[in-house]
Structure 1
Amino acid sequence: MAPDTKQHEAMSAGSIEPGVWRYARARRVRVVVDGEEYFDAIQRAMLKARQRILMIGWDFDTRIHLTRGRRWWQKGWKKHYPSRLGSFVVWLSKQNPQLEIRILKWSMGFIKFIGRGAMVLDLLRWWPHRRIDFKFDHVLPVGCTQHQKLVIIDSDFAVCGGIDLTNGRWDTRAHLEEDPGRKRPSGEHYAPWHDMVMLMEGPVARELEELGLMRWRRAGGKVLPSVTSQEESAWPDDLDAEFEDVDVGISRSWPAMEGEAKIDEVEELFLRQIAAAKHFIYAENQYFASRSIGEAIAKRMIEDDPPEVVIVHPESAEGWLEARTMDPARNELVQAIREIDEHNRFHLYAPFSGNTQIYVHAKLLIVDDRVLRIGSSNFNNRSMGLDSECDVFIDCDRPGNEHATAGIRSIRESLLAEHLGLPVEDMPGLLEKHGSMAELIAAIGDTNARHLRPFQPGLNQEWESDLAISETLDPEEPEHLFEILPAHRGLFRPGSLLAKAKDRLTRKRSVNE
């Protein structure tokens, strides 16, 4: 079904500046770190919903339990709402017949239903409720993924970030090596998991909803009525904001399709923000495999006084295919960047709890404590050109945002404290004492249960390097999935800094052999 004119214009409208779709005001903003706090916050927000809940995600699993509410076997169950997500949605609908609940999930995730029998039953339970609607997004080109993670409630409260309401996402900020609460619906326990989202209240929610409604219509959903203003937003009670009265920028990615031009705001904004860093870049990301991100960092490393770059990411990607795709590309990029990093300013770390990897699923960028960016975009080629993504950011250089610097600095200090197993109140003094994030991390070492280990790239097998360099499994455009790689494409573009560094490494290895 073709989108209506307004929604088509919302998607095709050009950026107001390079890498930015729109800016909109937020009355309150909070960064929520890890699943324990997020599952609690989003449940409390949904309890306050009056007209519409719109959820868009890569995955969605009705079998998970939210923080509050009763389990089916507990006494007095009739007096309380259920904690299980599938039942909680039905309860919300029954409590408020005027409430719409619309859920959009990536279509290829349908195969996951094979192992989620209870979820199929939930969808059947939802079917008679005309105001509960669950759809699969199937409109992207072959090989592309619906990866945006958005929740919008009553056009005035929004969530954007990396956490889907699905299994395997819950964890506490303590990231214990073993935690009985970290359990899938099947009963299987999983390793520590780190992630985050941004909660926003105010006009920015309506802008994100416009994007979400376009996605909804493209997937075959009906036109949804406008939401009237509410006296009270869905912002969870007693949840403090970290920022107030700030402009929030929105950045998108969308592959070219059906005569529509590619939207590459996500990539363009990353390149701008990396180029603008004066002192440091602190990032958390699931991958480090993007050619364009690697080239942008490489350009900074050859400067006389480059910024410090600290990236926290998993030691290895999750799953056999992802590990075979992302890990070899990361090895190639890291080795090439380090070849030209004469000032030792480029650092990658993997977080651990004891001897167990903490899987980093977060998508965060902080630049000079003046830019805070959170969303769904990974540092891989897919997020730059194939998948639909959405990031939000606060830039203190934007008039009216000058007061946000202290809040951004506090978030960075809080995250470093979490990864290093240190009291957050000690971080300002420790960073001042050691002079840089890397020096502090080196001084702490692995003395605490939670710690950051410097990443040391291994040598790829020849076939792994060939796949990584050709970008066969992580292409930059949808059509590249089915093309033989031309000489002018690939992870190391001819004439680029990374290509020259790669050539030097190859010659050194030949001499050593």
Structure 2
Amino acid sequence: MRVIRSAAVDEECPPETSVLRPRRNVWRIEHAHRAAVLVDAAAYFGALRSAMRQAKHRILVIGWDIDSRTPLVGPEGEPADGLPKSLGDFLCALVRERPELSVKLLLWNYSLYYALEREPLPLLTLQWSTPPQIELCLDDEIPVGSSHHQKIVVIDDTVAFVGGLDLTIRRWDTAEHRPEEPGRIDPAGVPYPPFHDVQMAVDGPAARALGDLARWRWERSSCEALPAIAARSVPWPEGLKADFGDAAVGISRTLPLYPGEGEVREIEALYEDMIDAAQETIYIENQFLTCTRIAERLARRMREVPGLQAVLTAPRIHHSWVEHRAMAAGRIRFLEILRAAGVGDRVRLLHPQAGHDGGTVDIMVHSKLMIVDDRLLRIGSANLCNRSMGVDSECDLTIEAMNPAERQAIRAVRARLLGEHCGVDPAEMERRIRAAGSLLAAIDTTGDGERRLRPIEDGQPAAEERGWTIAAVADPRHPLPATGLVDRALASVKARWRGLLRIAPIVVAALLLALAWSTTDLAGWAQPERLQQSLHGLAGTGWGPPLVIAAFVLGGMVMFPVTVLIAATAAAYGAWPGLAYAGAGALASALAGYLVGMLAGEKALRAVMGPRLHRIRDGTARRGIVAVATIRLVPIAPFTLVNLVAGAARIPILDFTLGTAIGLAPGLLVLSTLGDRLLSILNDPSPAQIGILLAVIAAWIALSVGLQALVSRRRRSRS
């Protein structure tokens, strides 16, 4: 797997005066022929829909949340292309219209805390109920307590979108943020308040670099390497005007401490370096403001530059109990640091508000944006909280102005955002800023109508000590420690669920077989005495050996107990050649099941598990002989299911064959040697005979454990 945690060595570094520095605050700096700022979800969803309609090869979505019910429509609120409105139905229609198109959806395998906020059973909705070109993978490759918070969409490796918006419900809104909006209704029919966020669209090499990042995430989660795409056409959204042309785009990340890999804190370094570069104004929109390290950096810079002003736009209140107890207290502390430094009079903490019929409604600020002077524009997924600095995965894009046109474009974006919040035209907002000569003065004299920015009054934190205790868990600076018992418990739970999912497609077949066993004479043939007599009748014929092997193969297909077949073969033919016949039959049966699984099982298994089937296949392939042998060593293992799953997972056939032979060897030796005695015990058990049977089982287990230890030791010595 290709690791992409460091900047390319052949990458041209920017001038010394540049804020963007590879290997410190950006992963890569790449060129974008076009870059556009999309304000609010209606603009983003409409542009994304247009780009997806033009996709020819692959759509790759990386999200904190993905909901099939998301209304993927523009400001009009209804689609005009004849395809369904909701994301899931739209993607299904898209791939049916274009069968060569592949859609990959990577969703954080979220914690139970967010379960009630998410779409129930996303695997069922987005994996099992969609065409095969649409695949959903749940990504759990992250430390305990962390989340995958990146929001990236890459189309044909030529156009990419990055920002604060997931393709999920309760996000869609227009820039008007009307207090009453018919399109702002969730799937339960419940209205939600106005919602503000920002996304950036880029093309060219910048989009290809984001494709590298997205494919790395996909490969790490699914063990499926996706090839890069060399598309000839660029699916730039129709009608989307670029704010920047031929711009250099810095890509910054946060990646927590993965096993065997160091953490990445480019986003934290970029916040610090952008603050250190500020001369006149810092404009921030962010959902959370809790990182005291950044607050201290801002306070220091404002002391160094007496004329520097800062505007912080955030939601008025935090709605959930955890956010209120942890994040609200952190925001209070953030402002206290600035006031204690003596710069509080040059800082405004504001929230947008919309008026309607004499009342007001707060606008939820979910964006993660920072503009420094008219030099730096940054949009991404990272909040100004501790989690986003080193615990969650994040991705931000930054444009550093290198000429007057780019500086003007950054000023225009800032004027557009402030104009939206204050209810004035962007050009008028820019005129007021120039006339006032101060960002704070321009805001203070603007917004007396239905749209305005209002001061946030957080007051004092309630139960401060308790709040900071919660913050230590809800907003940690480093991933929570999860070693020892917790790690083993989580690994055990994951393993159990993965095991259940692996055999789920075959359980239906097993149920049908159970019906066959209850309605036919299969159960009668499973009586050892009857089976022994039938095989004994073949012993004197030349067709005996091939018919015995055929019986093993057919028995495997109907889940007939292989141990009974082995014992009956030994009783009919003796220890020799019964051992050879039983061994050949058991191995032939295993290979037949493997081939059936290989030919027909992968599609069924992948339909249930999605691309994570690759992780099982690759993990088993690395220790294939030992893994297969371990299962075979268990006398009661469901051999038919094992064979089918092994074939479906494409375990190397040599590993499967050798593992099967090694794992069956102890049982074959015991059952073939004591076949007559075992059948008599099964037919007419007595306390003494039961004791003998238990001794045989104990010997079998002892041989199995010893052989497994030997194989494992030899494999470790070779690795």
Partner of 2:213: 211
- Structure 1: segments with no counterpart, 5+ residues: 483-513
Partner of 1:85: 87
> Does the 8 A contact of 1:371 with 1:396 survive in 2?
yes
Task: Give distance in 1, aligned partners of 2:282 and 2:118.
Answer: 41
Deviation at 1:374, TM superposition (A): 0.3
Residue 324 of structure 1 aligns with an amino acid whose one-letter code is R
Partner of 1:489: none
Q: CA 1:298/1:82 → structure 2, altered by over 3 Å: closer, same or farther?
A: same
Alignment of 1:256 onto 2:245: no
Q: Secondary structure at the match of 1:418?
A: helix
| TM-score, structure 1 as length reference | 0.85
Q: Secondary structure at the match of 1:212?
A: helix
Q: CA 1:132/1:452 → structure 2, altered by over 3 Å: closer, same or farther?
A: same
Task: Give distance in 2, aligned partners of 1:322 and 1:50.
Answer: 42
**After superposition, where does 1:106-505 map in structure 2 within 5 Å?**
106-108=108-110, 112=115, 116=119, 121-123=124-126, 125-126=128-129, 129-230=131-232, 232-303=233-304, 305-342=306-343, 344-354=345-355, 355-397=360-402, 403-444=405-446, 447-464=448-465, 467=468, 471-479=472-480
Residue 123 of structure 1 aligns with an amino acid whose one-letter code is L
Partner of 1:486: none
> Does the 8 A contact of 1:29 with 1:242 survive in 2?
yes
Aligned residue pairs, count = 466
Partner of 1:36: 42
Residue 375 of structure 1 aligns with an amino acid whose one-letter code is G
Partner of 1:11: 5
| TM-score, structure 2 as length reference | 0.62
Residue 233 of structure 1 aligns with an amino acid whose one-letter code is V
Q: Secondary structure at the match of 2:304?
A: coil
Q: CA 1:249/1:115 → structure 2, altered by over 3 Å: closer, same or farther?
A: closer
Task: Give distance in 2, aligned partners of 1:378 and 1:457.
Answer: 19
Task: Give distance in 2, aligned partners of 1:121 and 1:406.
Answer: 48
**After superposition, where does 1:88-99 map in structure 2 within 5 Å?**
88-99=90-101
> Does the 8 A contact of 1:66 with 1:83 survive in 2?
yes
Q: CA 1:180/1:412 → structure 2, altered by over 3 Å: closer, same or farther?
A: same
Alignment of 1:45 onto 2:48: no
Between stretches 218-227 and 283-292, larger displacement belongs to: 218-227
Deviation at 1:412, TM superposition (A): 0.3
Residue 453 of structure 2 aligns with an amino acid whose one-letter code is L
Task: Give distance in 2, aligned partners of 1:149 and 1:303.
Answer: 35
Residue 321 of structure 2 aligns with an amino acid whose one-letter code is W
Deviation at 1:386, TM superposition (A): 0.1
Identity of aligned residues (%): 38
Residue 385 of structure 1 aligns with an amino acid whose one-letter code is G
> Does the 8 A contact of 1:90 with 1:126 survive in 2?
no
Q: CA 1:335/1:85 → structure 2, altered by over 3 Å: closer, same or farther?
A: same
Query: What do the CA deviations read for 1:148-178 (whole angstroms, capped 9, x no partner)?
Result: 0000001110000001010011011111112
Residue 340 of structure 1 aligns with an amino acid whose one-letter code is A
Query: What do the CA deviations read for 1:114-138 (whole angstroms, capped 9, x no partner)?
Result: 97458565335545x3321101110
Deviation at 1:340, TM superposition (A): 2.0
> Does the 8 A contact of 1:328 with 1:464 survive in 2?
no
> Does the 8 A contact of 2:154 with 2:211 survive in 1?
yes
Partner of 1:60: 66
Task: Give distance in 2, aligned partners of 1:49 and 1:69.
Answer: 22
Residue 463 of structure 1 aligns with an amino acid whose one-letter code is E
Task: Give distance in 2, aligned partners of 1:395 and 1:60.
Answer: 31
> Does the 8 A contact of 1:472 with 1:481 survive in 2?
no
Task: Give distance in 2, aligned partners of 1:119 and 1:266.
Answer: 30
Residue 219 of structure 2 aligns with an amino acid whose one-letter code is R
CA RMSD of aligned residues (A): 2.6
Task: Give distance in 2, aligned partners of 1:279 and 1:443.
Answer: 19
Task: Give distance in 1, aligned partners of 2:434 and 2:316.
Answer: 28
Q: CA 1:117/1:342 → structure 2, altered by over 3 Å: closer, same or farther?
A: closer
- Structure 2: segments with no counterpart, 5+ residues: 9-20, 484-719
Q: CA 1:84/1:470 → structure 2, altered by over 3 Å: closer, same or farther?
A: closer
Task: Give distance in 2, aligned partners of 1:457 and 1:226.
Answer: 48
Rg comparison, structure with higher value = 2
Residue 246 of structure 1 aligns with an amino acid whose one-letter code is A
Q: Secondary structure at the match of 2:110?
A: helix
Return structure 1 stretches of 4+ with deviation > 6 angstroms: 68-72
Query: What do the CA deviations read for 1:35-78 (whole angstroms, capped 9, x no partner)?
Result: 11111110000000000100001000001222279999x9xx9x
Higher relative contact order, structure no. (Cα contacts within 8 Å, ≥ 6 residues apart): 1
Deviation at 1:471, TM superposition (A): 3.6
Deviation at 1:444, TM superposition (A): 2.8
> Does the 8 A contact of 1:87 with 1:122 survive in 2?
no
Deviation at 1:112, TM superposition (A): 3.4
> Does the 8 A contact of 2:287 with 2:383 survive in 1?
yes
Deviation at 1:113, TM superposition (A): 7.6
Structure with greater proportional strand content: 1
Structure with greater proportional helix content: 2
Residue 398 of structure 2 aligns with an amino acid whose one-letter code is F
Deviation at 1:236, TM superposition (A): 1.1
Q: CA 1:405/1:220 → structure 2, altered by over 3 Å: closer, same or farther?
A: same
Q: CA 1:415/1:208 → structure 2, altered by over 3 Å: closer, same or farther?
A: same
Query: What do the CA deviations read for 1:178-202 (whole angstroms, capped 9, x no partner)?
Result: 2121111111100110001000011
Residue 36 of structure 1 aligns with an amino acid whose one-letter code is A
Between stretches 462-471 and 175-184, larger displacement belongs to: 462-471
Q: CA 1:475/1:118 → structure 2, altered by over 3 Å: closer, same or farther?
A: closer
Query: What do the CA deviations read for 1:252-302 (whole angstroms, capped 9, x no partner)?
Result: 001112121110000001100001101111110001101211111111232
> Does the 8 A contact of 2:126 with 2:134 survive in 1?
no
Between stretches 12-21 and 355-364, larger displacement belongs to: 12-21
Task: Give distance in 1, aligned partners of 2:271 and 2:76.
Answer: 43
Deviation at 1:344, TM superposition (A): 1.7
> Does the 8 A contact of 2:286 with 2:383 survive in 1?
yes
Task: Give distance in 2, aligned partners of 1:70 and 1:197.
Answer: 19
Q: CA 1:468/1:427 → structure 2, altered by over 3 Å: closer, same or farther?
A: farther
Between stretches 328-337 and 460-469, larger displacement belongs to: 460-469
Q: CA 1:115/1:195 → structure 2, altered by over 3 Å: closer, same or farther?
A: closer
Residue 414 of structure 2 aligns with an amino acid whose one-letter code is R
> Does the 8 A contact of 2:421 with 2:453 survive in 1?
yes
Between stretches 428-437 and 358-367, larger displacement belongs to: 428-437
Task: Give distance in 2, aligned partners of 1:415 and 1:206.
Answer: 28
Residue 217 of structure 1 aligns with an amino acid whose one-letter code is E
Task: Give distance in 1, aligned partners of 2:76 and 2:299.
Answer: 52
Q: CA 1:422/1:70 → structure 2, altered by over 3 Å: closer, same or farther?
A: closer
